[in-house]
Amino acid sequence: MSTTSKESSSAPCAVVVPHFPAHFRDLKLAAQVKQAANELIVSGISRKLHKFISEERLQPVQRQYIWREDQLASPSPAPEPVAVDALYEVGKVQRKWIKFQSGKTLPVITIVVADLAPQERNVIISDLANFRDFGCVNTQRLWGSIVSDTQITILLEDTCMDSLSTYVTTGNREMSELIKFARQMARVVDFFERTKFIHKRLSLDVCQLTTHKTLKVVVFGLSTGLIPKRIYLDDVERCRWMPWECLERQDGDPEPYDQSAVIWTLGTMIWSMFHKAAIPFENESVNQIRSREYRKDCQLDVIEELLPGGILEFAVGGDFVLVFRRFSAGNRELSAAEYEWTSGSGQRQTYRVGHHDTGLYRHSFSLKKWEDVRQE
């Protein structure tokens, strides 16, 4: 493993630790770190940790958060190019090694962000400070940063095997595993909303896997808001993950890529997971993918045998609320993902993704219960 124990800043940190119980792994956010440390001491795991370190003859090293350029080294031999290298415009992504003063090294992923405005630079530095002691299954652990007048280098734990879409397509995945991925992606939505982060490139490859096949999200787009300010409509890879209303039109401006469009994108990502990482509109031409008129009438096919027997709902109105439930209609089991929120006027809008009969489509209505919708 490459995780560390949550101890005080003055105590040494072991680079290798034993497998913590599930109840510890599931603890949430920095507010519960102290509680987790107390539970470790009470449960005796702290003594087991020291025993493990002694038996394995490990040498703990002092963890640091401020690094220098001369402490970075390139892996030898050079690894294969990473898929994310060419995907994200926020900064250059590379695999590196960081060197501790004791001579030990640790593989990391570096993100170099340059040409920052003063306000952007301050926002990133502030976010890095907030995430200094933060780590959970949805995010990569922050190892530290290198800050200069012209750029910021962010150091994250190197847990990425490959993109999630590549992993899903390399073999037959059990439905339980796909459902687990979708559930973890749903937790990511909540993380984005609470921390006000969003990825800038609309791609399924924003989701990464750890070496233990646990879904993590690598947030390469650093933003102070949930919605990106610029959308590049000439990029076909963005357009395929966007609702047709946000595409270019000849008789006026397209609808903005707002909160409802973000939810549509995330719903499409979950649809992709349930279809073995299928790419939306992968058989259409570039012009068709970018065409507002074509996309309006084009639906994504649903592979019925891959559908799970669950309902995935996001209620958006301040916080994302995740609810999983199962129901049957007649002798068949329906499966869909419903995304709903209440607008300022009190109207409730809903997206349903992966419906058993009609595939992927967008639909809005006012104040209808799900029981009424499923009868339509």
pLDDT in tens, 240-261: 888 898 898 888 888 887 766 7
pLDDT of residue 299: 75
CA distance 92 to 86: 8
* Residue 314: closest CA among 355, 354, 264, 356: 264
pLDDT of residue 277: 64
pTM of the model: 0.43
Per the prediction, the chain carries an average pLDDT of 60
pLDDT over 70 for what percent of the chain? 40
Q: Torsion-angle region of residue 257: left (phi > 0), alpha (psi -120 to 50) or beta?
A: beta
Question: Each residue of 93-122: pLDDT tens digit?
Answer: 778 888 887 778 888 888 888 777 888 788
* Residue 264 token pair: 């549509």
* Residue 275 token pair: 């279809």
Res. 176 pLDDT band, cuts 50 70 90: confident
Res. 146 pLDDT band, cuts 50 70 90: very high
pLDDT of residue 44: 60
* Residue ranges, CATH 3.30.200.20, the chain: 69-157
CA distance 304 to 175: 12
Average of per-residue pLDDT across 159-169: 60
CA distance 304 to 354: 9
pLDDT of residue 194: 61
Average of per-residue pLDDT across 13-40: 42
Any alpha helices (H) in 111-203, and if so which ranges? 118-130, 164-169, 175-195
Q: Which CATH number fits domain 164-373: 3.40.30.10, 1.10.510.10, 3.40.720.10, 1.20.120.450?
A: 1.10.510.10
Instruction: Report the half-sphere exposure of 212 (CA within 13 A, side-chain side).
Output: 7
Q: Is the pLDDT of residue 370 over 80?
A: no
Q: Determine whether domain 69-157 maps to CATH 3.30.200.20.
A: yes
CA distance 314 to 337: 9
Question: Each residue of 219-232: pLDDT tens digit?
Answer: 444 444 445 556 67
Please state whether beta strands 215-217 and 207-209 pair in parallel, antiparallel, or not at all (unpaired): antiparallel
